[in-house]
Amino acid sequence: MKAQRIYFLVILLILSACEDVINPKLDSIAPVVVVDAWLTDLPEPQTITLSQSQDYFDNGPLEFVEGATVSLVRNGSTEMTFAEGDPGRYVWNPAAGETLGNVGDAYELRVTIGTETYTSQSVMNRVPQIDSIAFRFEEENLVFPDSFFGEVFARDFVGSGDTYWIKAYKNGVYLNQPDEINIAYDAGFSAGGNVDGLVFIRPIRDGINPIDQDENDEFISPYSPGDSVLVEIHSITNDAFDYLNEVRIQIDRQGGFGELFATPVANVPTNIVPTNNQNQVVLGFFCTSAVASMGKRFED
Partner 1 sequence: MKLSGFYLPAFVSLTLVLILSQPITSFSQTNEKFTVNGTITDASNGESLIGATVFIKSLGTGTSSNLYGFYALTLEAGSYELEFRYISYESKTVTINLQADQTLDLELSPVAQNLEEVVITETAIDENISNIEIGVNKLDINRIRKMPALFGEVDVIKSIQLLPGVTSVGEGASGFNVRGGNVGQNLVLLDEAPVYNSSHLFGFLSVFNPDAVKDVKLYKGGIPARYGGRLSSILDVRMKEGNNKELDVNGGVGLIFSRLAIEAPIVKDKASFIIAGRRSYGDLFAKAFTDVLDDGAALNFWDITMKANYNLNAKNRLFVSGYLGRDKFLFDANQGFSWGSRTTTARWNHIFNKRTFANFTFVFSDYDYSIKFGEDNVNRFDWNSKIRTLDLKPEFTFFANPNNELNFGGEALLYNFEPARAIGVSNGEITNISLEDKRGLETALYLENDQKVNSNLTLRYGARFSHFSYLGPGNYFEFTDSEPGDRRDVISVTRANNWESIASYHNLEPRFSLRMKTGPNSSMKASYNRMVQYVHLISNTTASNPLDVWTPSTNNLKPEKGDQYALGYFKNFGLGNAFETSAEVYYKSSKDQVDYIDGADLLINEFLEGDLLSGKGRAYGLELFVRKNTGKINGWASYTLARTELRVNGINQNQWYPTRFDQTHNLKLVLFYELDSRLSFSANFAYATGTPTTFPNARFEVQGYVIPYVANEGRNNFRIPDYHRLDLSATWRPKALKKNGEQRKNDSYWVFSIYNLYSRRNAFSIYFSQGTDRIAPGQPVQTEATQLSIIGSFFPSVSYNFKF
> Footprint of partner 1 on residues 218-277 (CB under 8 A)?
242, 245-247, 249-251, 253, 255-257, 259-269
For partner 1, the binding residue among 24, 76, 97, 114 (CB under 8 A) is: 24
Which 60-89 residues touch partner 1, going by CB under 8 A? 60-62
Single residue of 81, 132, 171, 176 touching partner 1 by CB under 8 A:
176
- Taking the alpha carbons of 231, 232, 235, 239 in that order, is the dihedral positive or negative? negative
Among 81, 177, 224, 228, binds partner 1 (CB under 8 A): 177
Q: Please identify, using beta-carbon distances, which residue of 106 and 201 lies nearer to partner 1.
A: 201
Q: CA dist 215 to 1, 149, 171, 192, 220, Å?
A: 15, 21, 20, 40, 10
- The least CB distance from residue 258 to partner 1, in Å, is 9
Piece of the chain touching partner 1 by CB under 8 A; list 48-56, 88-96, 106-114, 225-233: 48-56
Q: How far is the CB of 40 from partner 1 (least distance, A)?
A: 12
Question: Closer CB to partner 1, residue 8 or residue 43?
Answer: 8
Our finding on whether 47 is near partner 1 (CB under 8 A) is no
Q: How far is the CB of 200 from partner 1 (least distance, A)?
A: 7
3-state secondary structure of 102: coil
Q: How far apart are the first and last CA of the chain?
A: 25
β-strands 273-274, 116-123: how paired? antiparallel
CA 46/CA 53 separation, integer angstroms: 22
Contact assessment for residue 210 and residue 222, using Cβ atoms and an 8 Å cutoff = yes
CA triple 99-275-28, angle to 5 deg = 100
Nearer to partner 1 among residue 66 and residue 174 (C-beta): 174
CB atoms within 10 A of CB 266: 9
Positions 90 through 129 that interact with partner 1 (CB under 8 A): none
**Which residue type, as a one-letter code, is found at position 281?**
V
Q: Binding of partner 1 at residue 190 (CB under 8 A)?
A: yes
